[in-house]
Each structure stands twice: as C-alpha cells, then as structure tokens.
Amino acid sequence: MLIVVCGCCVAGNTTLVTALRELGLDAHNVAQEHSGVPKLWLKRCPDLLVYLDASLPVIKTRRDVPWGEERLTAQHERLRDARRCADLYIQTDPLTREQVVATVLDYIGKNKDSLTNHCSKAPYIEEIPKCHDK
C-alpha cells in the first residue's frame, strides 16, 4: 500500500511519514502546499491519501515561522484538490505525534480492504479523479 501525506506546513507531514516508514509502511510526503500543480499528489498514485491540517496559532507554537494567515490561506488553496480527494483528513492541532500515527493506523486497519488506488479512479493523471465532496 502506497501512502501519500500532504497538508499545510508544520502540520506534521514529515513527522508522520517518518513514523509510518519506521513501521515498515511505504509512505511519502508530497509538498503540494508549495506547488502550483494542483494534482501533484496524484503523480504518486496513492492507495491512501492523508491530509494533515493545522491552524496558524498552533503552527506558531510548533515552529518560529516568519509568515502569517495570508501564506496559510495560499497553501490551503494549493492543497484544495488534495483536501477534496483525501481519504483521511486529520486536524492535528489537538493531537500528539503518536495520536496522529494511531489515527492513520486505525484508519488503515478499518479500511484496508476498501482502499482503491487513486490512479484507478482517474485513468489519466491530467484528469481530476472523482473525489469526495468536502
């Protein structure tokens, strides 16, 4: 199973991918928040797309970032397609690293038989997959 993680800066993307890899899972971080390519995440053809989010006040407690709400809004705009297509959305503000990992593992355990590769939903990378309305 190929897992792609994306989300805004400082939401825990790299931390989650590292933890999942340590558990032997094939996880990758796609820096969609920095890309003007709306479906960059889809190029990996994930079986599971995880979207992590965080609010600016919590981001600022996690790291000294020189940017504000305007940049976070721009990131959310770049992430719009990934958010809409995510199999699992996690707002990380109230969660520890361990709780985020546990949430993903729980989701996999409950849904492993029903996860479908995102590229099978969209035969061509250029085509927007039929995703959830969120």
Q: What is the pLDDT along the chain (134 residues), one digit of tens a residue?
A: 999 999 998 999 999 999 999 999 999 999 877 667 778 788 888 999 999 999 998 888 888 888 778 889 999 999 998 999 899 999 999 999 999 999 999 999 999 888 888 877 654 445 554 555 44
Give the domains, in start order, of the chain with CATH numbers: 2-115 (3.40.50.300)
Which DSSP string do the residues of 27-89 spell out, in sequence order?
Answer: EEE--GGG-S-TTGGGGG--SEEEEEE--HHHHHHHS--S--HHHHHHHHHHTHHHHHH-SEE
